[in-house]
Amino acid sequence: MLYEVPLRCSGVAVVLLKRTQYDYKVLLLKRTSSVLRDTWCYIGGGIEEGEKAWEAALREVREETGITKVSLFTSNKFDQFYSAKENYIYVAPVFVGYVDDDQDVILNYEHSEYEWVTINEAIERVSLPGNDEALAFIEKHFVRKSPTEWLRVGV
């Protein structure tokens, strides 16, 4: 009899993009949590009871950055990792949010720093395996091209 490794999808990830005069910038946050302390990453968090994944994405953006005006899209990309300790595969949908230049970032306790960086700088700085691939995918489909409206969520 074969045993299956369970999948858990209890969280979301969000890559925020801001258009500048010449290109797009990505928001990276430096974590303060015990697990990912001092790791640069994009926004992520858990889905609360009764929430849809896209609703959790908007809430996490608001909680972690103070940003409230986001044009949100599903990227059709997923963060994933295997937990050897608990023997499950974690999968989180990655959303893309476009924000206006006039919104200030106000960090919560989960982060110590933030920076708006180019896509290439973000790809070099993130340290979780797979985050670089998600950013390259987002550059191809959400920076070089405009996303199709059917990917928009939260409207």
Tell whether the model's pLDDT for residue 155 goes beyond 70. Answer: no
Tell whether the model's pLDDT for residue 67 goes beyond 70. Answer: yes
Q: Return the CATH class of domain 7-151.
A: alpha beta
Between CA 111 and CA 122, with CA 117 as vertex, the angle to 5 degrees is 80
11 vs 132: CA distance, rounded Å: 19
Nearest Cα neighbor of 44 from 126, 102, 99 is 126
The reported pLDDT for the residue numbered 29 is: 95
Distances (CA, A) of 81 to 68, 77, 90: 29, 13, 5
Q: What is the pLDDT of residues 79-135, one digit of tens each?
A: 999 989 999 999 999 999 999 988 889 888 888 899 999 999 999 999 888 999 999
Distances (CA, A) of 109 to 30, 56, 63, 106, 113: 11, 18, 10, 10, 10
Nearest Cα neighbor of 92 from 145, 130, 148, 49 is 130
The reported pLDDT for the residue numbered 35 is: 74
133 vs 71: CA distance, rounded Å: 22
72 vs 151: CA distance, rounded Å: 9
94 vs 53: CA distance, rounded Å: 10
27 vs 16: CA distance, rounded Å: 6
Domain boundaries, the chain: 7-151
Tell whether the model's pLDDT for residue 34 goes beyond 80. Answer: no
11 vs 127: CA distance, rounded Å: 19
More confident residue, 58 or 38: 58
